[in-house]
Amino acid sequence: MENFRFGAFLRSKRLESFSSTNSEKRVVETQKVSVKDESEQRHVMDVFVNDDDGWIPVIISWIRIVICFVSMMVTTFIWALIMLVLIPWPCERIRQGNIYGHVTGRMLMWILGNPIKIEGAEYSNKRAIYISNHASPIDIFLIMWLTPTGTVGIAKKEIIWYPLFGQLYVLANHLRIDRSNSIAAIQSMKEAARAVVKNNLSLIIFPEGTRSKSGRLLPFKKGFVHLALQSRLPIVPMVLTGTHLAWRKGSLHVRPAPLSVKYLPPISTENWTLRNIDNYVNMLHNLYAQNLPKSQRPLL
């Protein structure tokens, strides 16, 4: 319980300090762009192109990535030791895993140095199913940092083979699903929902099921709706913009593109029914399309 309070306190302070300090100092450069309304701001994001591909920016980017990797290895090793001590207490491992994510995710974003704007933070500390679009490795750092204490992730079972991070993921008692066939996947989802309800947890999931190569929103899988039907938790969409410009797939060059994280109001699932699953999936997908800049909307 003490660690839970510490995690909540840490998260509250980081959101408060980041919104009041970093948002003022680092986002101010973005705000200086001459824009009249939100549509023009989105246009600025759409046309953001860096011409900083000279060798000096690339070397600086590589240095940042190396520092990120080394720093993450250090925090991962420290928290792995903590998790080993806490093996008899699964729920405490989840909360410690969240604290690890808050510290490590915030640290990695500070090292990368991208200006970040956070909106709707008042919805960021509710017990819910958090969903997010996924187009960059940076999304992982943001999710680690910004999801509340008491939240479990859900990933494919093969994540255990990811060096060090995968083992910590399992030690932190996060959930894994078997995607080898539809029957196994459905059973894994049911087990995940039971674990979330039993332990009074929140959940974070990427409804696209994979990372978008272009940054454009992909079709949503139905798994998050099944989880909502079984847990009756509200859904809080997290809309990430700009991450695909900051760190493109297959590139080792992190660009200083401005990023945005927008929490949308919770969507109640209390009255959802199984026969309307497709409608709920389409509704959430359309909601994302409406809140993303043009360059990240799905092609018709």
229-256 pLDDT, tens per residue?
999 999 999 999 999 999 987 777 899 9
What average pLDDT score do residues 128-139 get?
95
Cβ atoms of 195 and 175 closer than 8 Å: yes
**% of the chain surpassing 90 pLDDT:** 58
pLDDT score of 38: 47
184-208 pLDDT, tens per residue?
777 777 888 888 888 899 999 999 9
The domains of the chain, with CATH numbers, are 2-296 (3.40.1130)
Lowest-confidence range among 152-156, 248-252, 292-296?
248-252
Measure the CA–CA gap between 183 and 3, rounded to whole angstroms.
Answer: 38
Residue 177 has pLDDT above 90, yes or no: no
The tally of CA atoms less than 13 A away on the side-chain side of residue 114 is: 29
What's the Rg (C-alpha) of the chain?
Answer: 19
What average pLDDT score do residues 141-165 get?
86
Cβ atoms of 221 and 285 closer than 8 Å: no
Residue 196 burial (10 A CB sphere; 0-12, 13-18, 19+): buried
Measure the CA–CA gap between 284 and 300, rounded to whole angstroms.
Answer: 16
Lowest-confidence range among 48-52, 82-86, 152-156, 180-184?
48-52
What average pLDDT score do residues 49-60 get?
70
How far is residue 9 CA from its own chain's centroid?
Answer: 20
Measure the CA–CA gap between 61 and 254, rounded to whole angstroms.
Answer: 6
Whole-model pTM: value is 0.80
Cβ atoms of 130 and 204 closer than 8 Å: yes
